[in-house]
């Protein structure tokens, strides 16, 4: 038993650099795998389908994306409706009579340039399900 321990100790002393390098290599591989999985999670192409609300809490405005159609509305008032199409990864084009814009969808939010009022509005996802709040969308189809 003593002989085995002394042989192992001698082996470790002779090959200490190699052992340290193997340990560092394994740590690097595991770290890169973890980093890659986190990056994949962040960069995953997500579907824009759902309901979004702007940051104005006093007079909220909503976008709803569902099956190639979008609706932009305030409670009790439809502002616009049209179609949307995913043209590249997280880039969408939305079209209606009033809108022909590109939006980039990232981290469950997007920014929309309102040409009529000449400002950019940030919308954040509030639901994965297309939801219509205080508006009967069937009247507008």
Span 55-110, pLDDT tens digits: 888 889 999 999 899 999 998 899 999 999 988 878 899 999 888 888 988 888 99
54: number of CA atoms within 13 Å, CB side? 19
Return the structure tokens found at 46: 């997500």
What is the torsion angle, in degrees rounded to the nearest 10, for the CA atoms of residue 76, residue 78, residue 79 and residue 82?
160
Residue 16: predicted pLDDT = 82
Distance of CA 133 to the CA centre of its chain: 24
pLDDT at 141 over 70: no
């Amino acid at each position: 038993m003593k002989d085995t321990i002394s042989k192992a100790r001698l082996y470790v002393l002779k090959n200490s650099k190699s052992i340290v390098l193997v340990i560092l290599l394994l740590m690097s591989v595991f770290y890169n795998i973890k980093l890659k999985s986190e990056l994949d999670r962040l960069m995953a192409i997500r579907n824009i389908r759902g309901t979004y609300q702007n940051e104005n809490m006093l007079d909220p405005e909503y976008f709803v994306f569902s099956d190639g159609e979008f609706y932009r509305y305030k409670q009790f008032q439809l502002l616009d409706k049209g179609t949307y199409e995913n043209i590249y990864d997280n880039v969408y084009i939305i079209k209606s009579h009033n809108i022909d814009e590109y939006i980039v969808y990232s981290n469950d939010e997007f920014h929309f340039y309102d040409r009529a009022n000449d400002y950019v509005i940030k919308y954040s996802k509030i639901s994965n399900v297309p939801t219509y709040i205080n508006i009967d969308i069937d009247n507008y189809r």
